[in-house]
Structure 1
Amino acid sequence: MFDRGTDHSPSLKQIEINTIAASYAGLAERVPDVHRHVLNFWGKSDEAAKILTNNAIKGISEGIAKACQMYGSSEAVVLFLVEKVSRNIFDQRCLEMELWNKNIRVIRRQTLDVYERGALDDEKRLFVDGYEVAVVYFRTGYNPEDYHDAECWDARLLIERSKAIKCPDIATQLVGTKKVQQEIARSGVVEKYLSECPKSAERIRATFVGLYSIDEGPEGDEIITKAMEDPESFVLKPQREGGGNNIFGEELKQLLGNIKDGPKRSAYILMDRIKPQTVKNYLLHPGSALKLSECVVELGVFGVYISKCRKMIMNESPGHLLRTKSTEFADGGVSAGVAVLDTPYLT
């Protein structure tokens, strides 16, 4: 997001990293066509020509296709691990169709389907309903509710033990947790992993805002005290994914007061609250009248990364996702009905 900072000079600041079920690539790729059509309809062809092309879903499909090629069986399929009821199925279908166009078969199954009808052979190949699985693509598995009984954990363990390529594997998923991101922000950690590229480490660190541990101990006690004294300057983040879980303002102060003397505080981190630059825009929601609103935008950059042990095979940035929401909402994404998909316009 663009942070205005104390001197009101905007700079890009990182909100978080998501390493599982990163969605809306399929729909985001189509939004530029909508905006070009609207601008051309109103005779603004010069403005329409400035709308950026977004190849997010094409790049992601190429990454999965590369993983299938590495797996080495033309008969193996890609398993989309999905929720029982998906509100975002059309976005998933965009990726599915791209893979079918590459002659890669896709099957959709739930976690319990894997438990009930999945198995490993002697070579650790994963089979589900008789299909050999080359790649498991997770669109579920990041909420506590996704593991509602022991069978779900057994299914996840079965997948992790298999030779199928995981998107993501459990280690990569954990990298996306708030606690790991907070630890990466500690002094010297980025520099440790980029010791041969100090300028890159410096550029990355410049995008960080303060991320703080509130684990039990003097360090955690000190930052909790600061946050309770000035709750508007912080965001309380639980170890959750999927959006809509962050805590602000008086609710933050009240929750910290309730958990500050016990172990439950370790389930959260604190982050400096970004003061984003605002823009005026019209947000199109079904059943709602159009009105000019004060908005903030959040830019997501999709990444495709494949590695084999410590060897990097692919590392690409195929596209982007822009979400715009009214300033009347502190938190919440597209699925929550708060934000809308948007397109960057470069002047």
Structure 2
Amino acid sequence: MAQGIPDHMKMDSTLIKDLADVAKDYALLQGVLMRIQETPNSSELVTYAPFTLFPTPVPKEDFFQAVAVQTHYNTLVDKISRDPEFLQDALASTITVDDFTAKLFKIHEQILKEGRSQSIVLGLNRSDYMLDQREDGMSSLKQIEINTFAASFGGLSSRTPDVHRHILKVAGRLEESQRIMDNNPAAGLAAAVAKAWELYGSERAVVMFLVEECQRNIFDQRYIENELWKRNISTIRKRFEDVWKTGSLDQDKRLFVNGQEVAVVYFRNGYMPQNYVSEQAWDARLLMERSLAVKCPDISTHLAGTKKVQQVLTRPGVLERFFPDQPQVVEQIRATFTGLYTLDMGPEGDKTVAMALASPDRFVLKPQREGGGNNIYGSEICQVLERLKESTERMAYILMDKIHPSPAHNFLLTQGTPLQISNCLSELGVFGAYVRQGEDMVQNECVGHLLRTKSSNHPDGGVAAGVAVLDNPLLV
């Protein structure tokens, strides 16, 4: 059941409309911006990035649990990326049926064979959770996934706290406005990029943002770029095509793109099959992976973020492999796991198929894809599994328990959409940043958070996919 409508939403519709107008203007003043769909590569016309009119209540205990476990997740991702045997075993079945993961794995194998050129590793990730409503009325924090590649909205979520503080003040809710936490992931993410750049050790080398063709969400990235410029670190924005055309390695494997030496490649593109429009894009990815530039993420860290790895980590004894003498860390991480099940061929996978077909509404079927909008729910699970149950193709998926967050009411402010109260579900993301040089973990931090909220009519999809909107936690 949705929580009862909070007092500040029981205002008359004129007042709500006035507040929404104030909110949109304030969001524009704060730089909570996106380019418009019609002209995604031009800043001539921009609009506010969609957001909630009011912040969403989040239990303090769950919020701080997510923050506390983030540095352990950073360590875990890093350890997985350094364990080729584990990655090989975990992904063995997936790469026989999933072409995209197989191509990534092939690059990973080539890098292992040649030897890594760079001992500096930079990780910027975001661990996403929902609060599962338990029968005793309490909630428990359950991880949906960890994004090790192009984890977005660190920039815009640095600007939203002031928007919600302002709205609550205008709505006469001063006490609540003071409960919105400061949040600046952009600065924390940029600090880790800057540290990797500094360790690379060339003042004239640049940080290259590897970006997509369609750049509606450019302002989110600009915040991180600007934090780097403040530190006198030059940034450039290039696409796969630019790297293929003008990229080269010198005899020391230093990467040059269009004549500029690249210290750090920050991938904001390359996590979906459709990002690789040609073989040339794959060649460009390999060139960058082979280079001396620090990659964020490098190929093994990219693979560490796959759904299959997430599922394998929930098996008994697997976390202990990475934290052999740290039972408390294992416990903290495991507490955030929900049920994840293999669809590999054999009795265990057959059992998963039978379980999903018997009660599809209890589960989510997930392919090895990022970027939102890929998951399969309800009766569609039956259609897919009936078709694939005897086929090895089922190994491209994992099955996950469906998390049941408690809905709340809010107004979703999205360009061109009528203002109405919606039944909403929220997802909490926590940003992690780490830098390792050789064996030495130079930096390992939780650098901020992101709350995204969507109408409960939409089971899947994020802000960039046009479904969720930006939000802030109001700790309760």
Measured against the shorter chain, the TM-score band is over 0.9
From 51, 55, 63, the equivalent of 2:192 is 63
Shift of residue 6, structure 1, vs aligned partner: 4.2
Worse-superposed segment, 87-96 or 117-126: 87-96
Worse-superposed segment, 43-52 or 154-163: 43-52
For 2:446, give the aligned amino acid.
S
Question: Are 2:182 and 1:43 aligned?
Answer: no
Separation in 2 of the partners of 1:255 and 1:288? 33
Aligned to 1:337: 466
Question: Are 2:337 and 1:208 aligned?
Answer: yes
From 139, 147, 157, the equivalent of 2:286 is 157
Aligned to 1:225: 354
Shift of residue 194, structure 1, vs aligned partner: 1.4
Aligned to 1:93: 222
Aligned to 1:319: 448
Separation in 1 of the partners of 2:328 and 2:235? 42
Q: How does 1:184-199 map to 2 (within 5 A)?
A: 184-199=313-328
For 1:16, give the aligned amino acid.
E
For 1:310, give the aligned amino acid.
E
Shift of residue 332, structure 1, vs aligned partner: 1.1
* Larger relative contact order, structure 1 or 2 (CA cutoff 8 Å, min sep 6): 2
Q: How does 1:157-306 map to 2 (within 5 A)?
A: 157-306=286-435
For 2:399, give the aligned amino acid.
L
Shift of residue 114, structure 1, vs aligned partner: 0.7
Shift of residue 5, structure 1, vs aligned partner: 2.9
Report SS of the residue matched to 1:345: strand
Worse-superposed segment, 262-271 or 1-10: 1-10
Q: Deviations over 1:92-143 (max 9, x none)?
A: 1111111111111111100111111000011110000110000000010101
From 308, 321, 324, the equivalent of 2:437 is 308
From 141, 160, 163, the equivalent of 2:270 is 141
Q: Deviations over 1:29-74 (max 9, x none)?
A: 1011111111222332222111111010000010100000000011
Separation in 2 of the partners of 1:333 and 1:265? 25
For 2:145, give the aligned amino acid.
E
Question: Are 2:140 and 1:11 aligned?
Answer: yes
Query: Across the two proteins, how many residue pairs are aligned to each other?
Result: 347
From 216, 223, 243, the equivalent of 1:114 is 243
Q: Cα RMSD over matched residues? A: 1.1
Report SS of the residue matched to 1:253: helix
For 1:318, give the aligned amino acid.
V
Task: With the length of structure 1 as denominator, give the TM-score of the two structures.
Answer: 0.98
Separation in 1 of the partners of 2:465 and 2:258? 34
Aligned to 1:27: 156
Report SS of the residue matched to 1:25: coil
Separation in 1 of the partners of 2:245 and 2:416? 42
Shift of residue 147, structure 1, vs aligned partner: 1.8
Separation in 2 of the partners of 1:219 and 1:105? 52
Worse-superposed segment, 316-325 or 288-297: 288-297
Separation in 2 of the partners of 1:335 and 1:212? 28
Gaps of 5+ in 1: none
Separation in 2 of the partners of 1:187 and 1:209? 13
Shift of residue 284, structure 1, vs aligned partner: 1.0
Gaps of 5+ in 2: 1-129
Shift of residue 231, structure 1, vs aligned partner: 0.2
Report SS of the residue matched to 2:147: coil
Percent identity over paired residues:
56
Worse-superposed segment, 266-275 or 288-297: 288-297
Report SS of the residue matched to 1:16: strand
Aligned to 1:72: 201
For 2:431, give the aligned amino acid.
F
Q: Deviations over 1:176-219 (max 9, x none)?
A: 00001111111111122112210121121111011111011111
More helix by share: 2
Aligned to 2:17: none
